[in-house]
Amino acid sequence: MQTLLNESIRQIAGQLQNWRRDFHHFAESGWFEFRTATLVADELHRLGYSLKMGKEVIKADARMGLPSVQALQEQEQRAIQQGAKVEWLPHFSGGFTGIVATLDTGKAGPTLAFRVDMDALDLNEDQTHVHRPYAEDFYSCNAHMMHACGHDGHTAIGLGLARILKQYENRLTGKIKLIFQPAEEGTRGAKSMVEAGVVDDVDFFIAIHIGLGIPMGELVCGKDSFLATTKIDVTYRGAASHAGGKPEEGKNALLAAAQATVGLHAISHHSKGISRINVGVLQAGTGRNVIPDYALMKVETRGETNEINEFIYGHALGVIEGAAKMQNVEYEIELMGAAQSSKPSPAWVDFIYQQAQQHVPELSSVVKSGRQSVGSEDATYFMERVKANGGLASYLIFGTELSAGHHHGQFDFNEDVLAIAVKTLATITINLPDFDAERHQ
């Protein structure tokens, strides 16, 4: 069996690279993944998967950090010009760029789901010859959009896995779901898919990532946890006035934002675990002689547990309101993103570890758990929903060499990791019946 699987993986290695480089060249950031989604849907349909897309898998009012209607329309037109499969676009129009592909084997068994993300970052890619994507002409052609976190690779892995599983369908049982998620950056997209019910029938769940500081050839079978996070935009609205002639008539939104910034960073840390807060952007004012009537703050909180994050966030809301009262200005808060903390299921991690150790010699090292992360990931919404329904979940990291850190303009990775990831995930799927039977004995 492994000899056959090895040959199947070898045969698609070139296609994995082609997919990855195509997605990298036509990078699309969150909720703008129109071209990417149509190409993914077209390939999955060709393979014979049952597809649910757009509003079927994304709850509209649960989306976070959604761009303007005008921006969505402009990006949809851009995608058409760049080769989007127009017959699929109606499903994704308006920023509903999610896909769930299901392979129903027709045989009794559990439902296994994999999540991969598709979005790029709002970042300009390096355009010098020291950067391989530029030197080899697959750098992003879209300004301020770059795959600087490996999601182009994740999407390629998802499609490669789809091909392999279809090839070995007669050896599978139950159902396999492939979830292609938009807008992971900023932790904006997963919650809307979870609230649409896409994992409510899932017994086993895996989300993946490449890189993250893990060496090439190493697999982390269960990321210990990501930090829970809440990301908000805060707008203060006051009254403009001449700073010299009528200062008493002004209501200073800039001062409210400045006082809030200082107050937010003074919130106490939590004794029970990691806590974070940051004001990353503060924009205000129109001129040196004008009382500022508008200010925008971009804020995030994080916590090692959901409870710690809620503690920090609750205090943040009080500081934001207090600063508004001090300056007699109005304020509004818009939720831009969120994620939970989540720990992997130990029994599921053990099984993944066993499969990787026994059947994937390309992995030089397999470890059961990675260190506590100080980042956040909205795959935790999927994990927590699956676990709440009695299922098992984990988050896998496939190590790879990186040319620069994540979210850097020179980010690139060793593409050999793509085939390793597909083989590992296919192996887990093919051998899942053994684990499921043992679990229910």
Give the residue ranges of the annotated binding site.
149, 151, 185, 209, 407
Tokens of 308: 């710690």
- DSSP states of 130-146: TSHHHHTT-S--STT-B
Cβ atoms of residues 105 and 436 within 8 Å: no
207's CB contacts (< 8 A; 6+ apart) are 114, 115, 116, 377, 379, 382, 383, 393, 394, 395, 396
Cβ atoms of residues 44 and 51 within 8 Å: yes
Which class for 30: exposed (0-12), middle (13-18), buried (19 or more C-beta within 10 A)?
buried
Centroid of chain to Cα 283: 27
Separation of alpha carbons 264 and 347, rounded Å? 40
Secondary structure class of 259 (helix, strand, coil): helix
Strands 50-53 and 204-210: unpaired
Q: Identify residue 34 by its one-letter amino acid code.
A: F
What is the Cα gyration radius of the chain? 23
Helix axes 34-47, 151-167, angle to 10 degrees: 10
Separation of alpha carbons 184 and 377, rounded Å? 7
Binding-site entries for Mn(2+):
149, 151, 185, 209, 407
Separation of alpha carbons 210 and 187, rounded Å? 17
**Where do the DSSP E strands lie in 40-83?**
50-53
Tokens of 306: 């959901």
With DSSP H G I counted as helix, E B as strand and the rest as coil, what are the percentages for the chain, rounded to 5?
A: 40, 20, 35
Q: What is the dihedral of CA 419, 420, 426, 428, to 10 degrees?
A: -170
| Beta-ladder partners of 115 | 179, 207
Tokens of 156: 């390629």
Helical segments of 82-173, H only = 89-92, 132-135, 151-167
Separation of alpha carbons 228 and 195, rounded Å? 18
Centroid of chain to Cα 175: 24
